[in-house]
Every structure is written in C-alpha cells, then in structure tokens.
Chain A
Amino acid sequence: MSATTAIATPTAAAAAVPKAQFDWRPLALLVGLMGLALPAIGTPSTWLTLTVAGLAMGLIIFVIASGLTLVFGLMDVLNFGHGVFIALGAFMATTVMGGMTGWAGESTALQLTSVFTAMVVAMVVAGAVGWAFERVIVRPVYGLHLKQILITMGGMIVGEEIIKVIWGPQQIALPLPSSLTGSWLLGEASIEKYRVMAAGIGLLVFAALAFTLNRTKVGLLIRAGVQDREMVESLGYRIRRLFVGVFVAGSALAGLGGVMWGLYQQNVTPQIGGQVNVLIFIVIIIGGLGSTLGCFVGALLVGLMANYTGFLAPKVALFSNIGLMVAILLWRPQGLYPVTNR
C-alpha cells in the first residue's frame, strides 16, 4: 500500500478503531418538536403550513446568526451591533428593489433578478460596513467583554440613527414581487412561495458554510481558531486576518438575512436589527457559542417554536423562545453542540 493510500483511507488497523459517534440527540429534538406539534395542532395541513413557515423563518435566522456565532467563537467578541447589518441589508433592499420595480414589471425573471440584485448589493454594502465596524469599533476592545457590549451597542444605535438620516425614521414597505406572492397548495396545506425560496437560500448558505468549514483549509483554520486561537497563531497563521474575513462574511450574511427578513415581514423599520438581535442571541446560545451546526439546529428550533406557539397560544408566543432556551440550557448548559476548549 502506498503511503498516500494509507493516509487517505483508514487502514485495516484503523478499521478496528471505534468510530466517533455523531450526536443525533439535538436533531432528534427537532424532529420530536415537529412530532409533538402534530397532535397539538390537530390538522395535518395546518401543521405542514406552520412547519414550512417555521423552517423558513429558522433558516432566515440561521443566515443572520451564523456569522455572529463564528465571530464570537473565533475571537471571543460579543458583537451586539450585529443588528445594524440586518437593518442595512433590509433598507438596501428597499432602495434597490424600489428602483427596479418599473424595470422588472410583471416578468418573473426580471422580478427575481431584482430580488437577487438587492441581496448581492445588501451583502456587499453590509460586508463593507462590517469591515469598517471591525476596524473602528471592535478592534480597540479585543478581550474586553464589558467594553465590547457597550461599544457595539453604541455602534448599533449610531448605525440606526444614520439609517434614519438616509431612509427616514418611518416604516417602509418592502412588498414581495408578484411572482413570489401567493402559495402552492399541497393537498389542503398552503405553502407560501417566498418561504420555500427563503428556505432554499438558507439551505444553500448552510451547505456553503458546511463545505467551507469542513472541506477547506480556511474552514479548518476557523474551526481550530474557535477552539484555541493562540495555538493557531503558534502554528504560523495570522488569526486576526482570518477574523476580519469572518467578520466581513458574517456582516454580509447578516445583510442577506436582513433582505430576507424584510421580505418576510414585507416592511422595514430602523429598529428591525434590534428586534432580530434578541432571536439571534437566543439561537447562538442554544446552539453552543461558536458552533455552526448548533446555530443551524437552534435556529430551526426557534423558527418552529415561534410558529407553533403563535398558532396554538399566541399570548405565550413571545416568551416561548426564552422558555425553549431555558429548557435547552438546563439539559445542555453549553448549548446543543458545545465547542470544546471554550
């Protein structure tokens, strides 16, 4: 056997080594929640509608939160200003899509082009602002958690005020293009077109992140840096450069999430970031700080819980995700998929 073969595949001796077991229990919890909701809701078609809506909402939250969890994991930076990138993305969408409405007309292709253009522009602008935010606001407070909380919250307030200066303080409508409104009927269940598209984009982002983290050297460095950044530096890699890249990518994803969230709500306010901030912090705490898979499962749980309780008991819907977080932390105090060494 050549050396390369021995390295690429497990040897006969390695075959005797017990395989590390993947932890399925958080995923089982997700399935269990869906399963429990079915008899509680009663009607399968309503359950399917709510489940698709919950998964779509969860995937949008995942897009927004994925960058934040990596930023925290990699550099221990608590960025409470993440919401400003969400708001920025959403407002960029109002400008880009508003400007392209006449051009797109009733053509499905052109309408989709305007949506994807808004997403790309939002990502570029949010990424660029994220780069400046890291340089001016975050960099001076590395390692100082209290100052990070104060200055990043301050950054978000300033960002919101700048958004008010540019777009005004009032709520702005962000209607879905006609080609994305309406639903598909699946038996008696109504599946909204936009939610399917949002879920598709969310899954695409998850797949891209999973590929980057698991199949590339940069991903390997990020995963290692989340565990022990000092050792990564001792191996000769500049983790700060990596962190800036992750911060910019995380901001761009928040911008993308902002467009998706704005289209989901069909309106945008300067406070949109602050509103979503609560949800994304619940998600990253539930998932395990720094864990992308945990963030993914946590976001889906939050999305499903919000939709199920919104239907079953609207009065407790507001608190349902806090309850979910408490229950999960009682079960796993470090989150669903804790990152070791933290």
Chain B
Amino acid sequence: MSQNLLELTGVHTHIGAYHILHGVDFVVPEGEVTMLLGRNGAGKTTTLRTIMGLWQASAGDLRFKGRSLKGQATPDIATQGIAYVPESMGIFTDLTVKENMVLAARAARNASELDTQRLEWIFGLFPALKKFWLYPAGKLSGGQKQMLAVARAICEPRALILIDEPSKGLAPSIINNLIAAFKELKRQKTTILLVEQNFMMAKALGDWVAVMDNGRVVHRGAMAELAEDEAMQQRLLGLSLGTHQ
C-alpha cells in the first residue's frame, strides 16, 4: 500500500447547532483512488467540505502530507495542492469556459499563460471544452459543466482531487465519458477522493473504499472486497450494489 497522503482522525464537524460528523477516521493513499460511499445524509459531502476548510472541524485532526489542515482557511488548503469539485460543480456560469480555466490555473494571468500541453491533454479527455472554449459556461449542458468542473481541478498538477458525486443527474453516455477520464487520471497516479452513489463508477475506479453512516466511517478496505461481497453491501449500504447503477 502507498504512503497516506491524507489522514482523518476522529473528525467532528458541527454546522450551527447540528452535529454532522461524529469522529470520522480514514486515510487516502497517494496515487490511488479512494471511494467515499454511504447513504444520503451519511456525511460524505460534509467530510469533503471539512477537508477543504469550508466547514471547520470542531475536534479531531486532518493531516495532509503530514501537516495538519485543522483551522486553516480554504485558500491556504487549496494552495497546498488540493482541488475540489463540489456536488454543485461550482461553475462560474457568467464566465466563458476559457475564463473558468484561467481562474483555475493560479499561476496564469490569462489564457496565453496556460500550460498548452496540459490543456491539449484535457481537450483530449473532454473534447467539448475545446469546441465551447469561448462560450459562456452557463450555456453548457449538465455533462459539459461537469467536464469543465473536473477540467478545472486538473488544469494544473494537484496532489489530491476531491470530487463530490460527479455522475449525479448525468446520462449514462456522459458517465462513461467521465469514467474514461478518471481512469486516465488514475493511470497517471493522480490521488483522488471520490464521493459517488453510482456503483458502476465506484467499482470501475476505486482502489479503496470508506463507507459512511450517521457521520462515521463504518467500513474501510479494498474496493474489490466490497464489490464482491453482497452481504457486506447489504449490511453497510442497505442494498446490493450490483443492482444499483
């Protein structure tokens, strides 16, 4: 097993009066894809937002490359090399695709300063972005917006990418396109923490899995192990994932 890039130990998060995370423990090994699964309301999104500092952990520790993220502001966490693709995608709809990408590339002042080789690689993964390069992002389809959201996260090399339910609401053909893109990222040893409800995607991409329930991690292990054990799926997720696409 690779070295752990991210470690969460006993993380608690409160949102106002609500206690959402009740001591979350899991690790994200470097260069591999870790799936975060669980029922709706289990605390998956809150976990990603807590890692990004969008909500602060009230107890426990989050260590990235051995350094604690606790108490750090979101921009400081992002500049350490963590990219975040929220469930809402966070696309700047009034800006063009090009402008969205320029913003994501912190070092670039304008489009001419984008890494052209990397951009061509991204266009290879998501050809629609090249076609709609000068088009307002708000006019893109849902699938194209999701591609843009992922493209923003990879337009510069990042140590860790957090992605929240990228397949949500998308057509199967678009999901296959995303899976192909994530497999390419995986082939390049990109570390990904992926929240996903679509088991086909989880099975195709995941090396490791953490299953959450009621704000806690109730299972940690290899994805392949969970994929093959229907009884465990029933126990942890309340359904057989083989029938849940």
> Which of B74, B94, B109, B120 meets A3, CB within 8 Å?
B120
Alpha-carbon distance between A233 and B182 when the two chains are bound, in angstroms? 24
A213 to chain B, nearest CB (A): 11
Q: Is A228 touching B131 in the complex (CB atoms < 8 A)?
A: no
Q: Is A10 touching B117 in the complex (CB atoms < 8 A)?
A: no
Query: A2's closest neighbor in chain B, by CB?
Result: B116
Alpha-carbon distance between A238 and B139 when the two chains are bound, in angstroms? 28
Alpha-carbon distance between A332 and B117 when the two chains are bound, in angstroms? 44
Q: State whether A10 and B134 are in contact (beta carbons under 8 Å apart), knowing that A3-B120, A20-B139 are contacts in the complex.
A: yes
Alpha-carbon distance between A221 and B99 when the two chains are bound, in angstroms? 10
Mark interface residues in B133-155 (1 if CB within 8 Å of A CB, else 0): 11110110000000000001000
Q: Which of B92, B110, B134, B135 lies at the interface centre, i.e. has the most chain A CB atoms within 10 A of its CB?
A: B92
Q: State whether A4 and B103 are in contact (beta carbons under 8 Å apart), knowing that A17-B132, A227-B94, A234-B78 are contacts in the complex.
A: no
A223 to chain B, nearest CB (A): 6
Task: Collect the chain B residues with CB atoms within 8 Å of residue A6's CB.
Answer: 120, 130
Majority DSSP secondary structure for residues of A touching B: helix
Q: Is B74 touching A234 in the complex (CB atoms < 8 A)?
A: yes
Q: A residues 209-228 with Cβ under 8 Å of B?
A: 216-217, 220-221, 223-224, 227-228
Q: Is B92 touching A228 in the complex (CB atoms < 8 A)?
A: yes
Residue count of chain A within 8 Å CB distance of chain B: 34
Asked if B210 lies at the interface with its beta carbon under 8 angstroms from chain A, I say no
Mark interface residues in A1-41 (1 if CB within 8 Å of B CB, else 0): 01110111011011011001000000000000000000000
B contact residues vs A (CB 8 Å cutoff): 52, 54, 73-75, 78-79, 84, 86, 90, 92-95, 98-99, 102-104, 106, 108-112, 114, 116-117, 119-120, 130-136, 138-139, 152
Taking A6-B130, A228-B90 as known contacts, 20 extra A-B pairs with beta carbons closer than 8 A to each other, sorted by chain A number, are: A3-B116, A3-B120, A7-B98, A7-B112, A8-B112, A16-B131, A220-B99, A220-B102, A223-B94, A224-B95, A224-B99, A230-B74, A233-B74, A234-B74, A234-B78, A235-B104, A236-B78, A236-B79, A238-B75, A340-B93
